[in-house]
Amino acid sequence: MNNYNNPKKEYISLADLPLNEEGLISRINGGRGITGRLNSMGVQAGQTIEKICGSFLGGPVVFKIKNTYSIAVGHGIARKIILEYNKKNEPKQKL
């Protein structure tokens, strides 16, 4: 699913997004129930979200949508939200 024309772009889940980074929602891997629930909260494909808080071991993941309000979802649901993530330019290490 990676875009080979841009090596800095990749698709990751919200749970894997680094803290204080932004991603564009590409899709939601879930059934009608979870997709409908997330859509009613404003979590839809094409929205930009920023991860505010989360743990790699599990627990809630808090994110901001449209830079306006925060939403907390469980770790399992965060894994179903797939984002288009552009890696920032990482500084080159000196040898």
Residue 55's pLDDT band (cuts 50, 70, 90): confident
12-23 residue pLDDT tens: 999 999 999 999
Which pTM was predicted? 0.80
Tokens of 34: 């979870």
Task: Tell me the average pLDDT across 53-66.
Answer: 86
Tokens of 39: 């859509």
> Which pLDDT score, from 0 to 100, does residue 36 have?
94
Taking 50 as the threshold, does the pLDDT of residue 2 lie above it?
A: no
Alpha helical stretches, state H, the chain: 32-40, 75-80
What is the share, in percent, of the chain residues with pLDDT greater than 70? 83
Residue 4's pLDDT band (cuts 50, 70, 90): very low
Residues forming a β-bridge with 23? 49
